[in-house]
Amino acid sequence: MSKVWRYLTKEKLEWLVADRGLYFGPAISQSDPEEGLYDSTILGDLFEENPRKYIR
């Protein structure tokens, strides 16, 4: 989970998700070898906090 937070704050991530402002380029084109890897609990934690915020 710490890998996501080195790029964004939790608030910024929530804003990007709500604003539909995320763009994901192909992981193969990224210079970071860990790009695209994530802890599977991240989304679960966000949904658990406030599921109505993310489900339309």
- Alpha-carbon distance values, 7 to 4, 10, 24, 53, 54 (Å): 6, 10, 14, 22, 21
pLDDT at 54: 66
Domain span at residue 24 reads 2-54
| pLDDT tens, the chain, 56 aa long | 455 567 778 888 888 888 887 777 777 777 777 766 767 677 777 777 777 776 66
Which pLDDT value is given to residue 1?
A: 46
* The total number of structural domains that make up the chain: 1
